[in-house]
Structure 1
Amino acid sequence: MGRITNWMKTVWEQSMFHRAMLVAPPVALLLLAAFWTVGSRSAVQYYTAKVEKGDISQVVQATGTINAVTTVQVGSQVSGTIARLFADFNTQVTKDQVISQIDPAIFRAQLLQAEADLENARANVTGLLAQIETQRAELLAQKANVDKAQAQLTDARLNLQRTKDLFDQGIVAAALRDTAQSNYDGALASLHVAQAQYEQSEARLKSTIAQLDQAKAQVEQRKAAAELAHVNLDHTTIRAPIDGTVIARNVDVGQTVAASLQAPTLFVIAQDLTKMQVYAKTDESDVGKIKVGATAQFREPGAHERDHNPKRRHLRHHHRL
């Protein structure tokens, strides 16, 4: 290889003629190859067709999911353990049919406790009503005592006045005057005592009436608590909200469901499986090509692929970052 390179350098340096002789063979080979390639090409062919008028179709392809037109997620408003299941996948159910039962023991006990508290509150109201009637009778008796003490005071005042007149005339002794004065003072004190007892009885009656109002409010509160406990107990029985077919079951017997934050989904019921719709997501560049009511075609994958030709019902805009 080195000898060939040295020989080519020697020939190249001799003269222009030798250089041309050195380059001529490769150039001749290239020209021959080009001529051979151009000569082997076939003749250009032209095709003609009749001009026709027609529609231009624009097709938007998308992948989606097929769902029932109306589906309802059946949840639980209370927390507890699934005791029984009365429905499974593909079960035909009717509205208000029992499809599941949560263990009601705790909620039944809560209802009994709430009902007992309600009865206790009602008994408290009844006792306060009886106490009010008794205090009203006592108030009437105290009023009678005040009237009696007032009459005794009036009699003692008249007796004291007569005794003083007789004493001034020298008819009676000073001891009788002092006794009349003492009787008057005693009657006045008895009147004050009777009035104080009357006011005390009146205050007790007003206090009991206020307690009665509070007890009635507690009755309403206990009634609301009992109603809530009754509703929670009813919610342990899960019923189907619509007629349809169970297409999903998310719980098993013995599983605990927690409804503290949000209602857990126990079943999914499709109302009518003969009426289905396809949810498909399209690219933003194809949105302008889609119109409500336009003809659509979709194919369901599987062993027996079939084509369907529904109508577009809705076009929903959704912005997502």
Structure 2
Amino acid sequence: MTDAQNTLPETKNDEPVSDTTLKAKRKKALGFVALILIIAVILYAVWTVFFNHSVDTDNAYVGAETASITSMVTGQVEQVLVSDTQTVKKGQLLVRVDQRDAEIALATAKAELVKAQRQYKQTQANSSSLNSQIFVSDDAIHSAEAKVAEAKAEMDKAQDDLNRREKLSVSGAISKEELSTAQSALTTAKAVYASAQAGLAQAKSSQKAAQSNLAANEALIRGADENSTPDVLVAQAKLKQALLDLERTEIKAPFDGVVTRRNIQVGQRVAPGTVLMMVVPTSQLYVDANFKESQLEKVRPGQKAVLTSDLYGDSVEYHGTVQGFSGGTGSAFALIPAQNATGNWIKVVQRLPVRIKLDPKELAEHPLRVGLSMEAKVDLSSK
């Protein structure tokens, strides 16, 4: 019994000790958790303040403003001087179209220009001729007026003779034949006078016609010279068009780049708008980096970016500048846009293309091609 009695109080004394220990352990555990939370908050704050200055994505691809090489004239292809994958320089001859038709059109345009210039000179000469006609018509009018005056005098004389003979015929002093002769002379004088008046009117009409022709002729050349009349200007425009068509028979590279998708052969007939090949400007490439919409809060045009290519690996870095943002997400401009107005809709994080311009010098050292994969990281702290 003594042992049992001694044991019982010890058990009762252990219970308060266990509660105290448990409370201490619990307090210690809560303190440890609180310490972890405080450390996490501090680490997040440090990361936010000192390290959260960039966003990155591996959903990025190389792009370029490629040039479609098309024909501007109709004709048969005479030479094709490049092939796919060939590097070309700006102004390098790519394709030559048969020039004979263009040369004929050029010769025709030159002849039409010479003809228009000669017509201008002829118009000037016509003005001089019409001026001479006006001076001559003045003399003709004066001569006709003189004839009218002479005919009027003859008619008046014939009228006086007839009047005298009529008075004498009443008394029988002259014969009827003489009176008839006087009447005939008056009729003839009147006819001559009428003819003279008609001649005067014709001379005046001829002068007016010459004056009208001169005015019309002067209107064609007034304020112009041999190189500025309408007909000459039209001929000059046709000549320029013919020269341009002849120049366009030689199709040249618009910039430095690489030939791709060549689909033209010697002997093929082309028409304006026919696509012959494409040229990709290897020194003017850019990257479209598709960032998540949640990453774009602090991204701004002008910020610097560092990029790496799967072609060269992480050992080669490209430096670029953010140029801007696309007008919409990739799904918005898809052939069949996503239809979210459905009952089983699930939100999907969208990606917006961000255009990044690459450094031409770095591209020259490590060339890229359109469509290659890139990894892009934008420095949010840069301006």
* TM-score normalised by structure 2 residue count: 0.55
Cα gap change, 1:64/1:187 in structure 2, threshold over 3 Å: closer, same or farther?
A: farther
Residue equivalent to 1:160: 155
Distance, in Å, in 1 between the alignment partners of 2:191 and 2:151 is 8
The match for 1:313 is: 322
Deviations 1:125-150 (A, max 9, x none): 44555555445544544443332121
Aligned to 1:313, the other structure's residue is in SS state strand
Equivalent position of 2:239 in the other structure? 226
Say if 2:70 is the partner of 1:64. no
Match of 1:239 among 227, 239, 252: 252
SS in 2 for 1:259: coil
- 1:111 corresponds in structure 2 to 106
State the one-letter code of the partner of 1:236. Answer: T
SS of equivalent residue, structure 1 residue 192: helix
Paired residue for 2:197? 191
What's the secondary structure of 1:144's corresponding residue? helix
**2:158 and 2:189 in contact (8 A); partners too:** no
| Structure 1 counterpart SS, 2:325 | coil
Alignment: residue pair count = 269
- Offset from partner CA, 1:257-278 (integer Å, 9 cap, x none): 4335xx84644253x73x7532
Secondary structure (helix, strand or coil) at the match of 1:250 reads coil
Contact 2:80 2:94 in 1 (8 A): yes
Map 1:1-321 onto structure 2 (within 5 A): 51=39, 53=43, 54-56=46-48, 57=52, 59-67=55-63, 75-88=70-83, 89-94=85-90, 96-131=91-126, 133-165=128-160, 167-169=162-164, 174=179, 175-176=181-182, 178-196=184-202, 198-200=204-206, 202-203=208-209, 206=212, 210=216, 217-242=230-255, 244-248=256-260, 250-254=262-266, 255-260=268-273, 264=275, 266-268=277-279, 270=281, 273=283, 276-288=285-297, 290-292=299-301, 294=303, 296-302=305-311, 306-308=315-317, 310-319=319-328, 320-321=332-333
Q: C-alpha distance in 2, partners of 1:207/1:162?
A: 41
**Equivalent AA in structure 2 for residue 190 of structure 1:** A
Give the 3 Å change call, closer, same or farther, for CA 208–101 of structure 1 in structure 2: farther
The percent identity for this pair of structures is: 16
CA contact (8 A) 1:149 1:194 kept: yes
The alpha-carbon deviation at position 154 of structure 1 amounts to 0.7
Alignment RMSD: 4.2
> Is the Cα–Cα contact under 8 Å of residues 128 and 208 in structure 1 kept in the other structure?
no
SS in 1 for 2:47: coil
How far does the alpha carbon of each residue in 1:81-120 deviate from its partner, in whole angstroms, 9 at most, with x for none?
A: 43224455443525x4444322222222222223333334
Residues 189 and 62 (structure 1 numbering): CA distance in 2 closer, same or farther, change over 3 Å?
farther
Distance 1:181 1:117 in 2: 61
Q: Contact (CA 8 Å) 2:97, 2:250: kept in 1 or not? A: yes
Using a 3 Å threshold, how does the CA distance of structure 1 residues 76 and 253 change in structure 2: closer, same or farther?
A: same
1:212 deviates by: 8.3
- The alignment partner of 2:319 has SS state of coil
Cα deviation, 1:279-305, whole Å, max 9, x if unaligned, reads 222343433253445564433224756
Tell me the secondary structure at the aligned position of residue 197 of structure 2: helix
- Give yes or no for contact 1:110–1:229 (8 Å, CA) kept in 2: yes
**1:167–1:177 Cα contact (<8 Å) kept:** yes
CA distance, structure 2, for counterparts of residue 107 and residue 209 of structure 1: 41
CA 1:305–1:81 in 2, change beyond 3 Å: closer, same or farther?
Answer: farther
Report the Cα distance in structure 1 between the residues aligned to 2:302 and 2:120, rounded to whole angstroms.
68
C-alpha distance in structure 2 between counterparts of 1:227 and 1:292, whole Å = 45
Asked if structure 1 preserves the Cα contact closer than 8 Å seen for 2:306 and 2:317, the reply is: yes
Structure 1 residue 218: Cα displacement? 3.5
Whether the aligned pair in 1 keeps the contact of 2:67 and 2:280 (CA below 8 Å) is yes
Q: Residue 77 of structure 1 contacts residue 259 of structure 1 at CA under 8 Å; is this kept in 2?
A: yes
Give the unaligned 5+ runs of structure 1: 1-45
Question: How far does the alpha carbon of each residue in 1:49-94 deviate from its partner, in whole angstroms, 9 at most, with x for none?
Answer: 79364314464424222256x8665544334443224455443525
Bigger strand share: 2
